[in-house]
């Protein structure tokens, strides 16, 4: 019994020591360029670790603003005195930058370095597309900064004063390091030494000089020639860039400049970073429209590989001229794929441009997240019932996309004949859309040579080849149709840009209010991408945005980044956000914003947005119920402006009292009380019937002022307001139909 008590006392003492942190403290110096994930590393470890940590970040060290190295050093010393271990969250890419922090080591403090030595392409991609960065390093300027920093990179060495160095050249290595540090208690120590060692002479990662604009070599003294607003001059030959989790194939089989071919190199220049030549730091990466497709019928349906490869190359050659700036990528899971090898060889023999057509080894459901290749359209080798299951690509795509793809597929088709294809827009709530940026899945059914499957052709290759040609033709035609729709939206954007000066003169918002917004805009304008904005990005979106003035971007920024405006947002879902209008035109005036990038205005709406419109309307109706519980005397109308003054499709939910100091002029009134205001129920009905809503002319905004109830005319806004405060006439019959008005249950017949 006495021994048991001694053991218990020993355990209790150990737990007490661990809780109080009596072991050695750690100074972990993070090393890596912007976008390598240093801050994320620190946050994940601190969130999971029982050891007390302090993160010292130079971007926020000065009360949330950037500070100096000296300030970081003093904060680190204070944290160590407080018995905390410390993360030094700076780039620390050369020995001089790290030296002062290494000196924090002592008999009571071990100094570690964690080097996030990820591919340059990945770091630049993350830096360019991120938003809300603590140091405001995002957008176009981020690429130049990362490029410049990597040229000066010095890997840390143990003789600088470290007890341990961990070098992470891949994301899986980073995850392992996070796990290692997360599990450290206050009493634990890690083995000394250098782990994951790479050549310390590597000043710049292989490939960075090849996919960024030409720069002077390290040590030339001239630095980078790439400016924040410059776009890269892409090389003709295939660059060598590490790509985790994939092994692309190359038609030529010859590496650049006599180097050994990198088995992880991207296949063509189309897979390198493509920065837009933007002046607003909203540069994007590799927005080339891309169809990734599996080999149809050669797996489960056992079609002969030689014949199938001939047809693939034949059809690619036929359609490649129709793709313009788009590309095709044949995908297979295995490096030993016979079909990829055959197609690669035959495509090279026919001199097919590898920038327009290439092969890629990887999982078609996660080409971006695991392979680094952006593909906005993927093909599914479907079964005739268009159902999940059956194994192979079909099962994988339905599983990755979630149940919403099956629902969306049923809305378009229930069955599909061999040789035919069906284009299905991927719903915005699908993981395939959110994680991978896939906007469309094209289901295609090929011929079957497997006697264990339905409709077997029993080795009839005359019929089989005919069906397979039809299948690829249908698939590529489906992709071309998506490209054409993108071009139409692109044309709209250019047209709006050419007429932007005239449009600004006609916009609904009064000059006085516009001036207020320019001086003190409540919402951040022109921010970059979130994971949601990264999904559905295309050239049409970029061009379309140019038609909007900077002040008109506020709603777009809010819809894409609601987490940055929590105090303004009333409700957030994956599809919409809800907020009060900052300049309400009535007692209650709220906005329901779509969160789909590229859906800027009512004119952009088409059949594929029908469900989103219904969601917006339902959310608006839910809010009218809440508002009516607060004031049952209110009457609401829900609708869209034909030509909005602010970018990002938004539904107005507005009470019909129009009692607001912000309602100041004729345009304000007529934007809500003429045909210019499109009732949501009418818009939804038109999209269901015709695929598009009708847009009313802005000339309606200059009509004479008339009461929305009795239709009497008034010379000015003050006289109109005085009248409507007392008008008890019933609303016009047209507004009383089809649920255009929403009101409480206590209204009298006269009021309604």
Q: Which of the residues are catalytic?
A: 650
Strand runs labelled E in 386-515: 421-425, 440-444
Here the tokens at position 208 are: 């960075």
* Per-residue three-class SS string for 15-58: HHHHHHCCCCEEEEEEECCCCCCHHHHHHHHHHHCCCCEEEEEC
Here the tokens at position 688 are: 């269901």
Nearest Cα to 116, choosing from 169, 181, 175, 44?
169
Q: End-to-end distance of the chain based on CA atoms, in angstroms?
A: 85
**What is the DSSP code (8-state) at residue 111?**
E
Check: CB of residue 474 under 8 Å from CB of residue 444: yes
Here the tokens at position 265 are: 């190199």
Here the tokens at position 499 are: 């007429």
**Whole-angstrom distance, CA of residue 581 vs CA of residue 591:** 6
φ/ψ of residue 108, rounded to 5:
-100, -5
Here the tokens at position 537 are: 């990005």
Conformation bin of residue 168: beta by default, left when phi > 0, alpha when psi is -120 to 50: beta
Cα angle 445, 446, 449; round to 5: 135
* Environment class of 563 (CB within 10 Å of its CB; exposed 0-12, middle 13-18, buried 19+): exposed
* Environment class of 549 (CB within 10 Å of its CB; exposed 0-12, middle 13-18, buried 19+): middle
DSSP-derived pairing of the beta strands 576-580 and 589-594: antiparallel
Here the tokens at position 102 are: 């290494």
Q: What is the CA radius of gyration of the chain?
A: 30
Helix (H) or strand (E) holding 292: strand 290-294
List alpha helices for 268-361, DSSP H. Answer: 305-319, 338-349
Collapsed DSSP state (helix, strand, coil) of residue 528: coil
Rounded-to-10 torsion of CA 75, 77, 78, 83: 130
Collapsed DSSP state (helix, strand, coil) of residue 611: helix
């Amino acid at each position: 019994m006495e021994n048991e008590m001694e053991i218990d006392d020993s355990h209790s003492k150990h737990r007490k020591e661990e809780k109080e942190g009596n072991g050695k403290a750690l100074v972990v110096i993070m090393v890596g360029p912007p976008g390598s994930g240093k801050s994320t590393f620190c946050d994940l470890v601190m969130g999971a670790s029982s050891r007390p940590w302090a993160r010292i970040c130079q971007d926020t060290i000065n009360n949330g603003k950037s500070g100096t190295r000296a300030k970081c050093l003093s904060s680190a010393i204070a944290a160590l005195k407080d018995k905390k271990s410390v993360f030094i969250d700076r780039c620390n890419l050369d020995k001089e930058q790290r030296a002062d922090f290494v000196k924090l080591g002592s008999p009571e403090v071990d100094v570690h370095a964690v080097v996030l030595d990820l591919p340059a392409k990945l770091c630049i991609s993350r830096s360019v597309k991120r938003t809300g960065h603590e140091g405001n390093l995002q957008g176009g300027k981020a690429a130049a900064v990362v490029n410049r920093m990597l040229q000066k990179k010095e890997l840390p060495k143990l003789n600088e004063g470290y007890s341990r160095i961990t070098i992470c050249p891949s994301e899986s290595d980073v995850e392992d390091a996070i796990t290692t540090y997360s599990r450290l208690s206050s009493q634990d120590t890690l083995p000394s030494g250098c782990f994951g060692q790479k050549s310390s002479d590597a000043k710049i990662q292989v490939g960075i000089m090849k996919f960024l604009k030409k720069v002077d070599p390290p040590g030339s003294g001239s630095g980078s020639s790439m400016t924040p607003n410059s776009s890269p001059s892409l090389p003709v030959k295939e660059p060598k860039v590490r790509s985790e989790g994939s092994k692309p194939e190359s038609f030529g089989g010859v590496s650049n400049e006599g180097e050994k071919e990198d088995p992880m190199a991207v296949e063509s220049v189309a897979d390198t970073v493509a920065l837009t030549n933007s002046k607003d730091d909203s540069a994007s990466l590799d927005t080339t429209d891309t169809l990734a497709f599996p080999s149809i019928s050669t797996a489960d349906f056992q079609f002969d590989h030689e014949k199938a490869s001939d047809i693939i190359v034949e059809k690619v050659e036929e359609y490649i001229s129709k793709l313009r700036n788009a590309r095709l990528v044949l995908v297979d899971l295995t490096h030993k794929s016979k079909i990829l090898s055959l197609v690669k060889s035959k495509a090279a023999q026919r001199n097919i441009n590898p920038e327009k057509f290439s092969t890629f080894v990887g999982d078609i459901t996660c080409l971006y997240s695991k392979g680094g290749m952006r593909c906005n359209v993927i093909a599914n080798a479907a079964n005739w019932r268009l159902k999940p299951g059956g194994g192979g690509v079909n099962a994988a795509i339905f599983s990755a996309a979630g149940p919403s793809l099956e629902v969306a597929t049923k809305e378009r088709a229930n069955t599909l004949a061999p040789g035919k294809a069906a284009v299905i827009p991927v719903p915005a709530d699908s993981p395939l859309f959110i994680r991978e940026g896939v906007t469309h899945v094209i289901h295609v059914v090929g011929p079957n040579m497997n006697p264990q499957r339905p409709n077997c052709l029993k080795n009839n290759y005359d019929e089989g080849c005919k069906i397979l040609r039809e299948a690829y033709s249908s698939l590529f035609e489906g992709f071309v149709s998506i490209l054409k729709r993108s071009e139409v939206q692109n044309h709209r954007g250019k047209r709006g840009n050419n007429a932007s000066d005239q449009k600004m003169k006609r916009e609904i918002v009064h000059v006085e209010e516009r001036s207020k917004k320019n001086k003190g805009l409540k919402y951040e304008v022109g921010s970059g991408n979130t994971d949601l904005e990264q999904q559905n990005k295309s050239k049409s979106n970029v061009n379309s945005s140019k038609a909007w003035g900077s002040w008109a971007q506020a709603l777009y920024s809010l819809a894409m980044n609601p987490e940055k405006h929590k105090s303004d947002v009333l409700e957030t879902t994956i599809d919409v956000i809800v907020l009060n209008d900052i300049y309400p035109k009535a007692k209650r005036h709220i906005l329901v914003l779509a969160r789909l990038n590229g859906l800027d205005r009512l004119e952009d709406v088409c059949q594929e947005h029908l469900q989103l419109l219904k969601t917006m309307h339902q959310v608006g109706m839910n809010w009218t119920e809440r508002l009516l519980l607060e004031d049952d005397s209110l009457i609401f109308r829900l609708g869209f402006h034909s030509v909005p003054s602010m970018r990002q499709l938004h539904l107005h939910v507005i009470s019909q009292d129009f009692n607001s100091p912000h309602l100041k002029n004729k345009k304000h009134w007529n934007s809500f009380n003429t045909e210019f205001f499109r009732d949501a129920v009418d818009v939804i009905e038109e999209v269901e019937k015709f695929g598009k809503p009708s847009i009313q002319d802005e000339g309606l905004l200059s009509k004479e002022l008339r009461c929305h109830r009795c239709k009497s005319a008034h010379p000015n806004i003050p006289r109109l307001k005085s009248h409507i405060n007392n008008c008890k006439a019933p609303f016009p019959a047209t507004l009383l139909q089809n649920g255009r008005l929403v009101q409480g249950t206590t209204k009298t017949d006269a009021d309604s």
